[in-house]
Amino acid sequence: MDFDAIDLHVHITNWRMLRPEMRETMRRTQKQFEEALSACDDPRVFLRLMDEAGIERAGLINYVSPDLLGFTFEVNEWVSRYARQQPDRFIAFGSVHPHFTTDPAAEMDLLCGRLGIRAIKVHPPHQFVFSNEYVRGEENLRIIYAKAQDFGVPVTIHTGTSIFPGARNKFANPMDIDDVAIDFPRLKILIAHGGRPLYMNESFFLVRRFQNVYLEISGIPPLKLLEYFPRLEEIADKTVYGSDWPGPGVPSLKAVLDQFKSLPISDSAKRKILRENALKIFP
Ligand SMILES: [Zn+2]
């Protein structure tokens, strides 16, 4: 099998926990939602999809969102079990929700210790928290970042809009990450979706300004990527690939990857974005 890609943003989560009205949104906007449910029930189904697409490893995005989506802290246990089925190919992403924790330090210790979570997801528009909310006193969030930094665990932060009913897009601006990068200089930060479709300049600026800040391109239709980031090649050393499947409107794992591969950028930039940079972040 010839693998050449690492997909750092796949929503393999316990979709069975999703609140019914959100399930409707998923069914309406994602033709492969049933397939996604099977992939979540059985890692072998997902491995087959990865094999077909030529994806070597996948980041399994999980985050706590009890009030909006219905995902409780249990998604961390869930993804831990799932990823252990194939640890060389699955990278478990988990989350501590700053508004739904009484002991964020203990929860982070659990995630990064016993549960084997390898990256943290923060979702400002779904968790109703600015990514820099700790500068205004949200101590739980400060602890989450400090622990991630100490464990050497990267943080993926959602930026840009979300179409889920109830998502609050005032939290979508990546510029708040400027604070996080300054205050946690050893923390690796992945800017998921590059702020699309509103804040690409901000994302590009942050990636160039901070050594540990990366652009993560999931959720951007690849054929729009160079329109959104015309100078992508300049940040090819700081950009990582993701599909966002099965997010709303995202075609198959393979279709997204094939589109990316068709872009008119150099082969060396493609190799870095698809694989080499991710290998440095997740050896
Ligand atoms: Zn996503």
pTM here is: 0.97
- How much distance in Å is there from the Cα of 146 to the middle of ligand 1? 23
Q: What confidence category does residue 146 fall into, taking pLDDT thresholds of 50, 70 and 90? A: very high
Report the alpha-carbon distance of residue 267 to residue 204 in Å, rounded: 21
DSSP 169: G
Sequence-distant (6+) residues with CB within 8 A of 230 are none
- How much distance in Å is there from the Cα of 242 to the middle of ligand 1? 9
- How much distance in Å is there from the Cα of 113 to the middle of ligand 1? 24
Confidence check: pLDDT of 39 > 60: yes
With a pLDDT cut of 70, the percent of the chain lying above it is 99
- How much distance in Å is there from the Cα of 162 to the middle of ligand 1? 9
- How much distance in Å is there from the Cα of 238 to the middle of ligand 1? 19
Helices and strands counted in the chain (H then E):
13, 8
Going by C-alpha positions, the residue among 20, 33, 28, 19 that lies closest to residue 68 is 19
Confidence check: pLDDT of 222 > 70: yes
Going by C-alpha positions, the residue among 74, 145, 59, 152 that lies closest to residue 113 is 152
Report the alpha-carbon distance of residue 266 to residue 83 in Å, rounded: 33
- How much distance in Å is there from the Cα of 247 to the middle of ligand 1? 6
- How much distance in Å is there from the Cα of 219 to the middle of ligand 1? 7
Give tens-digit pLDDT for 164-221. 999 999 999 999 999 999 999 999 999 999 999 999 999 999 999 999 999 999 999 9
Domain coordinates of the chain in residue numbers? 5-281
Topology of the domain covering 5-281: TIM Barrel (3.20.20)
| pLDDT of amino acid 192 | 98
Cβ-defined contacts of 180-183 (< 8 Å, 24+): 180/131, 180/132, 180/145, 180/155, 181/206, 181/209, 181/210, 181/212, 181/213, 183/134, 183/135, 183/145
Buried b (16+ CB within 10 A) or exposed e, 148-174: bbebebbbbbbbbbbebeebeeebbbb
- How much distance in Å is there from the Cα of 222 to the middle of ligand 1? 15
Degrees, nearest 5: CA angle 176-115-164: 45
